[in-house]
Structures are given as C-alpha cells and as structure tokens.
Amino acid sequence: MSTGSSDTPHVALFDYGAGNLHSLAKGLEAGGGRVTITTDWDEALGLDALVLPGVGSFGAASQALAGHEARVREALAGGYPALGICLGMQLLLSESEEGEGGGVGLVPGRVRRLRARTVPQMGWNDVVARDMGDPVSGSLDGESVYYANSFVCEPDDPGVVTATSTVEGDTFAAALRTARSWGVQFHPEKSSTPGLALLRRFLHEVAS
C-alpha cells in the first residue's frame, strides 16, 4: 500500500547493489518526493512510484530483477509510475549487448553499444524533443544534459522515443515513454537545473 500523499509522493529507489544512490535520492527529495531505497520488490511496487537508477551493469542489475520480470512488467504496463535512469532506462527493454540476463521487457527492443569512436560518452550533450507535449521530457528541447553511458536503447517502436541526442553522428533515444513509465538515458541528478526540473515533473505526474 502506498504511504505517500498527493502532495509528497513516496517513491522506491531500487538498489541493484552497486554504487552510491545518494545524489539521486537527494535530487528526488529536492523535487518534492519522499524516497525509500530498497532491494525488496514487494516494497518497491507498494509505494507511489518506482525509480530504476543508472548504477552498475546490465548483467548485474538483471540478477537483482531475476524472477520478478513479469510482475514488474505487469505493474508498469498497468499504469504504475516508473522512471528509469541510464541503466534503469535500459532495463525497461528485454536484452542488452552489454551482458547476459533480461530486463523488464516493457518496451520491445534491444540495448546496443554506442556507435562512436570514444566510448563511454562522458559529459554534456544537447537534447532534441520529439514529443513536445510529453509532461516529463517535452520541455527538454534544446537543453544540455549530462551523460555517462556506453550503451543506448533501440526500441522496436520509434514512437515511444520522446527525445533524442546525437554523438559523433549516432542519434539515439535520450528519453522514452510508454504507459506511465519514462526512461532517460542521461543522469538528471547530474544535469543541473534541467535535470532537477525533470525529476520534479515526474513527481508531479506521480502525484496527479
């Protein structure tokens, strides 16, 4: 059962067991949310929303998901709000070139290696919005955000992509949406004002 309120959504920040989630938790709190870091899927799916962070590798993260893929996919497809960040966005798909294991499978498609000479992509890059009306990513058009990634999402349906970025001629999904689940390939918690604004908009959607 949710323990949040319409004014202060209570979100589950899932911990795959790799990395420091402190900055993302602080960003969500600054955006108006209450955060619980958890490794328990019952707890994660019992709050107001789920945040899948961008920490670790696909293979290791998929181990934390193993056995729960179907229930997470059904919850998200049914309208449970979620935000996947970097690796968390990639976990919304089924599989990745990065390693073995499966994702949630909410978004049909695959995760591929970035087609650039310099990998990983580290630093700021511009965003072009494809869906200006999207309540979370629509206002990112022309903003610069912070990336730290070697892999990108390639959905089967390009219609789920709400924003793109390009590096060395490789245009990829910067953001996507299906149902009430959003994914962003960049790190909003490291993206200054535009990133914190995105977290705030996501929390607003959770509360609405």
Distance CA 168, CA 134 (A): 27
Q: Give the active site residues.
A: 86, 187, 189
- Which fold would CATH assign to domain 10-207? Rossmann fold (3.40.50)
Burial (0-12, 13-18, 19+ Cβ within 10 Å), 53: buried
CB proximity list for 39: less than 8 A, separation 6 or greater: 14, 15, 17, 64
pLDDT at position 133, please? 94
Indicate the angle between helix axes 22-30 and 192-207, nearest 10 degrees: 60
DSSP string, 139-172: GGTT-EEEEEESEEEEES-GGGEEEEEEETTEEE
Q: Which two tokens stand for residue 142?
A: 């022309």
pLDDT at position 162, please? 98
Q: Quick one: which of 59, 58, 96, 88 has its CA closest to 72?
A: 88
pLDDT at position 1, please? 42
pLDDT in tens, the chain (208 residues): 454 445 799 999 999 987 779 999 999 999 999 999 999 999 999 999 999 999 889 999 999 999 999 999 999 999 999 999 999 999 999 999 998 889 999 999 999 999 999 999 999 999 999 999 999 999 999 999 999 999 999 999 999 999 999 999 999 999 999 999 999 999 999 999 999 999 999 999 999 9
Map tokens 């955000």 to a residue: 145
> How many of the other CB atoms lie within 10 Å of CB of 77?
15
pTM of the model: 0.95
Half-sphere exposure of 19 (CA within 13 A, CB side): 17
pLDDT at position 206, please? 97
pLDDT at position 7, please? 78
> How many of the other CB atoms lie within 10 Å of CB of 14?
28
pLDDT at position 12, please? 98
Instruction: Show me where the domains of the chain are located.
Output: 10-207
> How many of the other CB atoms lie within 10 Å of CB of 12?
22
CB proximity list for 158: less than 8 A, separation 6 or greater: none
pLDDT at position 4, please? 47
Q: What is the DSSP letter of 189?
A: G
pLDDT at position 3, please? 46
Map tokens 């650039």 to a residue: 116
Helix (H, G, I), strand (E, B) or coil at 190: helix
